[in-house]
Chains A and B, each alone.
Chain A
């Protein structure tokens, strides 16, 4: 990515994020979210995070063989199990990365 695109992207992300944070605090009562949007917001984290997470671990078809896929599947399953039990980011990172390296070494 070129430097200019990078700074432009970062400033645009910053502007969007600040506008959302400032919305009600700065403008007070002058704006209202429609009810459907308000209700839909409750599902945004689970949906967006799922859309980012699941394809990072599970890939259909393509040219990736089992040896390429297995370490990611294993790391994803172990990471998910640790996440459900502990919900601790560092624990998930350690368990997931160790599993990835372990399975890569086994199949390597």
Chain B
């Protein structure tokens, strides 16, 4: 088994250490987002257990923030779930990108590794597998990256929940959520090619106009309009650089 625990502890341990070392800067970068998600969960009124539990169960910061923002404006559950699906669709691409490298692991371990997948784990993993295709311990490396990132993320958001519970009201702290999204959006736009800019611009414009639609459906209408506009632009003007996800995911700013 490639890099599995049975092929000698030393190679496995070395792979884990290599992963942890590569993940260190990512762990630092993730702490603010984890804190913000924790604080935001309390700000929109989730009970303490749910505010903490969300980060452990969903474990996907951007979609959690989006859900919290939608809860704050009173969206129905269906809109929140479709938004979760859209925002986390990229994980299916990552899953496809990583599958061949992690196939040596048994099914239960693959399920755990899938659960621990983040933008950062995918970015570091595929970078290492591309740079050093001959180096073994691929599973160990992935675990070395993904487990510490998971621990840091859940801990930071738990701390955020506990801090948030003690913050005074009336500071408009809920405004922090759109500011975080603004950062992520700007990063996605700046990293992207022209069809991505078209997608973002159209989605933003449609979202403002479609805002009066009931059940916050404007969000979904705008998202699909933006995606369609991006595809249309790409077909007219030639393809965007391969969307594989790697280049988009290296900002170290999203879980």
Binding site for B on A (CB under 8 A): 1, 3, 5-14, 16-18, 20-26, 28-29, 33, 36, 38-60, 72, 75-76, 79-80, 83-84, 87-90, 92-93, 96-97, 100-101, 104
Q: List 25 A-B contacts (CB under 8 A).
A: A9-B77, A13-B58, A14-B59, A22-B115, A24-B96, A24-B99, A26-B111, A33-B96, A42-B196, A43-B230, A46-B188, A47-B222, A47-B226, A48-B226, A50-B201, A51-B226, A56-B178, A60-B209, A79-B182, A87-B183, A89-B33, A92-B182, A93-B183, A96-B175, A97-B179
Contact status B208-A59, CB under 8 Å:
yes
Contact status A26-B110, CB under 8 Å:
yes
Given A40-B231, A47-B223, check contact A6 B46 (CB 8 Å).
yes
- From B192, B208, B226, B227, contact of A60 by CB (8 A): B208
Cβ–Cβ < 8 Å partners of B226 in chain A: 43, 46-48, 50-51
- From B33, B58, B91, B195, contact of A43 by CB (8 A): B195
Cβ–Cβ < 8 Å partners of A23 in chain B: 91-92, 95-96
- From A10, A14, A52, A79, contact of B219 by CB (8 A): A52
- From B93, B114, B222, B243, contact of A50 by CB (8 A): B222
Docked CA distance A76–B180 (Å): 11
- From A5, A43, A59, contact of B77 by CB (8 A): A5
Binding site for A on B (CB under 8 A): 32-33, 36, 45-47, 50, 53-54, 57-60, 63-64, 66-67, 69, 71, 77, 80-81, 83-96, 98-99, 102-103, 107, 110-111, 113-115, 117, 171-173, 175-190, 192, 195-197, 199-209, 211, 218-220, 222-227, 229-231, 234, 239-240, 243, 245, 248, 251, 253
Contact status A79-B179, CB under 8 Å:
yes
- Closest residue of A by beta carbon distance from B220: A51
Contact status B227-A43, CB under 8 Å:
yes
Docked CA distance A76–B182 (Å): 8
Cβ distance A32 to chain B, nearest Cβ, rounded Å? 9
Given A17-B60, A21-B95, A24-B95, check contact A51 B80 (CB 8 Å).
no
Cβ distance B120 to chain A, nearest Cβ, rounded Å? 14
Cβ–Cβ < 8 Å partners of A76 in chain B: 178, 182
Contact status B58-A47, CB under 8 Å:
no
Cβ distance A1 to chain B, nearest Cβ, rounded Å? 6
Cβ–Cβ < 8 Å partners of B94 in chain A: 21
Cβ–Cβ < 8 Å partners of A54 in chain B: 203-205, 207-208
Docked CA distance A29–B102 (Å): 13
Docked CA distance A16–B251 (Å): 24
Contact status A10-B58, CB under 8 Å:
yes
Contact status B200-A16, CB under 8 Å:
no
- From B58, B114, B178, B245, contact of A25 by CB (8 A): B114
Cβ distance B109 to chain A, nearest Cβ, rounded Å? 10
Beyond the given pairs A46-B192, A75-B179, 17 more chain A to chain B contacts, judged by CB atoms under 8 angstroms and listed by A's residue number, are: A8-B77, A13-B57, A14-B57, A14-B58, A25-B102, A25-B110, A25-B117, A26-B107, A38-B243, A39-B231, A41-B92, A48-B83, A52-B66, A52-B207, A55-B207, A56-B177, A97-B176
Cβ–Cβ < 8 Å partners of A47 in chain B: 199-200, 202-203, 222-227, 230
Among A24, A29, A87, chain B packs the most CB atoms within 10 A around the CB of: A24
